[in-house]
Amino acid sequence: MKIQKLLSYTRRAVTDYNMISPGDRIAIGISGGKDSLTLLYAMAKLKKFYPIPFELEAITVDLGFEGFDTSELREYCESLDVRYSVCKTQIGEIIFDYRKESNPCSLCSRMRKGAFNDCAVSLGCNKIAYAHHKDDVIDSFLMSMLYEGRIHTFSPVTHLEKTGVTLIRPLIYVLEGEIRAFARANALPVCKNPCPADGVTKRQESKDIIDELKVRVPDVKDRIFSSIEGAGIDGWVRH
């Protein structure tokens, strides 16, 4: 995927769902994964020409795993002229050594998000940009139907009443495959997640279902996404 296409998708999502207001300070969590690194790139470039002024803060939550090096992430942020902060935690030790969780992902996710949100607020951020892409929207939609029996997926914009922070998702029009190609073509500093449970998620089941459906309906992702946009789900009304 070319840079122009990434920026076009990002700008369209931001505009369609009124994600940015003048003076926003937006936090982006970067773990070293392709999604968050691509989001940071897109938002840093968008900042240069978008008619509404906003600021960015890049944050990495250090879970405390041995050997996790943030030097390349720091250099990447500097190359994009984005301020970078590391939030050090003991989440890894708490989950794997102290609690010895057999299914750690849910608890880890909650603790990581809590630490990240606290750090974002301490830096003066009023918004947080998540790197959820089009495939994530579709996977969440399928998981809600299959495991909860309801028509639902996360919204492009979500306001958190407890903290006063607003979540935005500028990559909702971008496919995961496009992000993967962009990260590879632009040599983004993707690094492996040091978590021992990395890759063990229930979300993979919905991905497998989509892959099976694609054999019969090649454009199944676009069809499902269009259904989501027209289903009247909370938060999916364009401005």
DSSP string, 50-84: -SS-EEEEEEEEE---TT---HHHHHHHHHTT-EE
Give the pair of three-digit tokens for residue 67. 């050997």
Name which residue leads in pLDDT, 80 or 239.
Answer: 80
In which band, very low, low, confident or very high, does the pLDDT at 97 lie, cut at 50, 70 and 90?
low
In the predicted model, is pLDDT for residue 194 greater than 70?
no
Mean pLDDT score across all residues of the chain: 89
Contact (CB, 8 A) for 35 and 179: yes
Pairing of strands 166-168, 157-159: antiparallel
Q: What is the pLDDT of residue 103?
A: 64
- 19 vs 168: CA distance, rounded Å: 6
Please count the residues of the chain: 239
Average pLDDT for 90-105:
66
In which band, very low, low, confident or very high, does the pLDDT at 12 lie, cut at 50, 70 and 90?
very high
Q: What is the pLDDT of residue 91?
A: 74
CATH 3.40.630.10 fits 3-134+153-197, yes or no: no
Q: What is the pLDDT of residue 34?
A: 96
In the predicted model, is pLDDT for residue 197 greater than 60?
no
Contact (CB, 8 A) for 61 and 29: yes
Average pLDDT for 92-106:
65
- Domain residue ranges of the chain, discontinuous segments joined by +: 3-134+153-197
- 96 vs 65: CA distance, rounded Å: 10
In the predicted model, is pLDDT for residue 186 greater than 80?
yes
pLDDT digits (tens, 9 = 90+) for 65-93: 777 789 999 999 999 999 999 998 877 67
